[in-house]
Amino acid sequence: MTSREDLHRLVDALPAARLPAVERLLRASLADTDPTERRCFASTGTLSAEHDLAERSEDVLRSDGDPDSVGGRDASSA
């Protein structure tokens, strides 16, 4: 069985509710895009935090999640 025949068999076996999603996927694969083009993600700055974040997060986890009771900090110094 060829790949094309196999694909036809798979499409025929799909439930009707899944057809629109598969149709969108197939149409998108026919678009004029370079399949080797790398996607760019805007993640700059998403991990910026205070220098002691890892240490403070461990303290918060040990104190049942109340950040105001951790490390001698109170609500006024936050």
28-70 confidence digits (pLDDT tens):
888 766 656 777 777 666 666 677 777 777 887 887 756 566 5
Determine how many CB atoms are found less than 10 A away from the CB of residue 11: 13
Distance CA 39, CA 36 (A): 9
Distance CA 38, CA 26 (A): 20
Q: Which residue has the higher pLDDT, 12 or 51?
A: 12
Predicted local distance difference test score (pLDDT) of residue 52: 77
Distance CA 17, CA 22 (A): 10
Q: Which residue type, as a one-letter code, is found at position 33? A: T
**Average of pLDDT values for 7-25?**
93
Distance CA 67, CA 76 (A): 12
